[in-house]
Structure 1
Amino acid sequence: MTRAPTTARSLADLVEAGTLPRTALADPALAQVALDYAIAVTPDVLDLIEGTPADDPIARQFIPTAQEATTTPEERDDPIGDHAYAPVKGIVHRYPDRVLLKPLHTCPVYCRFCFRREQVGPGGAALNEAEFEAALAYIAARPQIWEVIITGGDPFMLSPRRIARIVEALDAIAHVAVIRFHTRVPVVDPARVDTAVVDALKARRAAVYVGVHCNHARELTPAARACLARLADAGIVLLSQSVLLRGVNDSVEALEALFRALVAARVRPYYLHHPDLARGTSHFRLPIDEGQALMRALRGRLSGLCQPTYVLDIPGGHGKSPIGPSYVSDADSDGRRAVTDFRGERHDYPDG
């Protein structure tokens, strides 16, 4: 495919880029999807697309389909309950020791399964100065806040100056020990992470982590790996967050390739998310027992370095829970348990 010069932001742009047929422009359901949910696909991502959302794991993540026009009864505008835990603008405080700081609501790409798809988009303005100061004051006034997770939107869409301002401000709050950025940029627009961005991320005192959203091994292009190397070489600890998606990575082979590629790029797999109940995303979701079976299969195939925690964000704002398979039975009357090994064989264990 010929490289597109700019980010595709409409159905017409995607037709021009060759990722949608011209007939898509006459599809009323697809037109409604384009009105309801933002579109953005960077040139780097367009280069990776090798088919349609029905048969290509990259296209499926980023190219809108008429399936998104279908909303099931259980789906929600705010599936993980951000709004209920937002004491001031830009802050979500769900867990006692950490908060989310959302300085903006724009992204380089808009994933078709995004749990914040009702909030993000081209009109998602950044916090103004007064709102940013109020968010910092909230954090500074609560010594139990040990970690601040900068998300959005994608904070790597901010200028290096703005990123540095956030790092410096949080680094100055003595009880904030960890500053964590969540971003898609290293895999969808890696050139954006230049020396100025890397320098902006460096703190004098607090530990800085970057959580990279990546769902398929093909996203780790040479440019993406070079970007991750720039961050790792600067001493920034890299984690990954992935979403288990039907038609993208719902096989042992796809997940194995993804997690091996991440670890080889010095990115520690952190979470594998079960997809959230966002509107118009039912075609991405699979039953939890299928996810558990995949995680059980991976246990015998991959090093512990490559094993993320499989989690579900409980709808309504109740937080994340691990939902991976169990390998140990309840104790019997004699205090003995059965433990299952990576081959699926059970072994007795005298517990206490």
Structure 2
Amino acid sequence: MSVKMWQDEQQLEWEKRDIALRRAAELKDQITEYLEQKKSIPDGFEIQGEYTKAKSELLEYFNATEEQWNDWRWQMANRIRDVRILSRLVRLESDEFNDIEKVGRQFRWAVSPYYLALAIAGGKEGPVWRQAIPSGLEILDRYGKEDPMGEEFTSPAAGITRRYPDRLIINVTNQCAMYCRHCQRRRNIGDIDVHKPRQVLEASLRYIRENPEIRDVLITGGDALLLSNKQLDWLLTELDNIPHVEIKRIGSRIPVTMPQRVTSQLCSVLEKHPPIYMNTQFNHPLEVTPEAKKACDMLIKAGVVLGNQAVLLKDINNDPHVMKRLNHSLLRIRVKPYYIFHAKAVKGTRHFITGVQDGINIMEQLRGFTSGLAVPTYIINAPNGYGKTPILPQYILENKNDHVTIRTWEKRVIPYSVSG
């Protein structure tokens, strides 16, 4: 090779490297804002000092031990559901006390000691607190519906909700570790905790057996993991014995609201019935705690595949930086972000509902700006039980069969020929 040829090749390599360095600088600039904002969006690992302090105060109030705290039965038995008890644990202004008392007459509330400690650690009126503690805004809502999903019209058999060709829901209980203030099924909560009786579950199973197109069954409620280990084992066994049921799914917020329920005994049950997929509901990075990680680790070791279905909630997570931090925190504990649900117009929850543009803006700031693993699908549930509809930014600007004009995640408009 001549000296001139070598010099020309070197010059070309330098030019390529210069282009790559300038592009890298552009990309680095695009993440600067998030990295700065991230400093003010802690996750549950970063508030352990505040959580430990709040936990200690609750243990002192209940005169309880660390062993009791880690027992999910103790957590359930000591859920806080009386504003007078709450006021002894957290300072409440008189109007706050009165609002919680009024809401409680219309909408049931309860929160596990674990989640209350986390709410206190995250700050009164913070993103965790708002999900757990009643607000006076709940009884001012005149527009919400009891059942915006039309579930009563999509129940072809007892305990069943069916909205799709090959899958359905078995609703097994109204019981939860915490009654989320944005709950889509708050009409089912009632005044007492009730698991569906055996005859209802048997009717649900009979419907599944008689409809061989059903290959996917979601067990939910309420919270499906609040069934006893024995009951859950029986139900999963019955589903395993239906040849056309290929997968079982469990809907549970237990890893978020009461991770103590995930015990070795529960995991032994789940391990017997693969494949099991579980979607939980982390809505804010503060909920991703060491306790939540431990529960998720145990479920994963038992062969459960974990996903997350966040709900888009006003003043809680309707911010691209918060949602990105949440999804990154979830991936660190091996939970795949799956859906972001637009909040449903349930009676008493209007103050949580955002504009659809909030969800689209979040998607704009996720796709391309972070790894695809951290990008869930933004979903609006069509009214009256017509199912999930994905909502996406507009990436195809023009479509002429073999030629399209696309808009990239950076908003670059580029013509693209499918034939190359």
Q: Same fold (TM over 0.5)?
A: yes
Question: Which protein is richer in helix relative to its size?
Answer: 2
- 1:138-153 to 2 correspondences below 5 Å: 138-153=207-222
2:271 paired with 1:199: no
Structure 2 alignment gaps of length 5 or more? 1-53, 63-77
Q: CA deviation at 1:26?
A: 3.3
Structure-1 separation of matches of 2:81 and 2:242: 39
Q: CA deviation at 1:12?
A: 2.0
Q: CA deviation at 1:21?
A: 3.2
2:163 paired with 1:91: no
Q: CA deviation at 1:121?
A: 4.3
Q: CA deviation at 1:340?
A: 1.6
Q: CA deviation at 1:330?
A: 3.2
Amino acid of the structure 2 residue aligned with 1:3: L
Amino acid of the structure 2 residue aligned with 1:41: V
CA distance 1:126–1:19, change in 2 (3 Å): farther
Give SS of 1:339's match. Answer: strand
Residue matched to 1:187: 256
Provide TM-score, normalisation by structure 2. 0.79
CA distance 1:20–1:144, change in 2 (3 Å): farther
Residue matched to 1:224: 292
Residue matched to 1:267: 335
Q: CA deviation at 1:194?
A: 0.1
- 1:297-312 to 2 correspondences below 5 Å: 297-312=365-380
- Kept in 2, the 8 Å contact 1:15–1:22? The answer is no
Q: CA deviation at 1:23?
A: 4.2
Aligned pair count reads: 345
Give SS of 2:58's match. Answer: coil
Identity of aligned residues (%): 33
Farther-moved stretch of structure 1 (194-203 vs 11-20): 11-20
Structure-1 separation of matches of 2:322 and 2:190: 29
Root mean square deviation, CA, Å: 1.7
- Kept in 1, the 8 Å contact 2:146–2:346? The answer is yes
Residue matched to 1:52: 124
Larger CA Rg, structure 1 vs 2: 2
Q: CA deviation at 1:69?
A: 0.8
Residue matched to 2:139: 69
- Kept in 2, the 8 Å contact 1:167–1:202? The answer is no
Provide TM-score, normalisation by structure 1. 0.93
Residue matched to 2:28: none
Residue matched to 1:248: 316
Structure-1 separation of matches of 2:408 and 2:205: 48
Provide, for residues 104-140 of structure 1, a one-character-per-residue CA deviation record: whole Å limited to 9, x for no partner: 1111101111111111245242121212111111111
Give SS of 2:328's match. Answer: helix
Quick one: which of 399, 410, 413 aligns to 1:343? 410
Provide, for residues 284-335 of structure 1, a one-character-per-residue CA deviation record: whole Å limited to 9, x for no partner: 1111112101111111322111111100111111111001212112315x85
CA distance 1:95–1:88, change in 2 (3 Å): same
Give SS of 1:255's match. Answer: helix
Q: CA deviation at 1:36?
A: 1.7
Give SS of 1:310's match. Answer: strand
- Kept in 2, the 8 Å contact 1:171–1:203? The answer is no
Structure 1 alignment gaps of length 5 or more? none
Provide, for residues 37-84 of structure 1, a one-character-per-residue CA deviation record: whole Å limited to 9, x for no partner: 11111111111123232xx110111110101112243x2110111110
Give SS of 1:69's match. Answer: helix
Q: CA deviation at 1:153?
A: 0.4
Structure-2 separation of matches of 1:237 and 1:167: 16
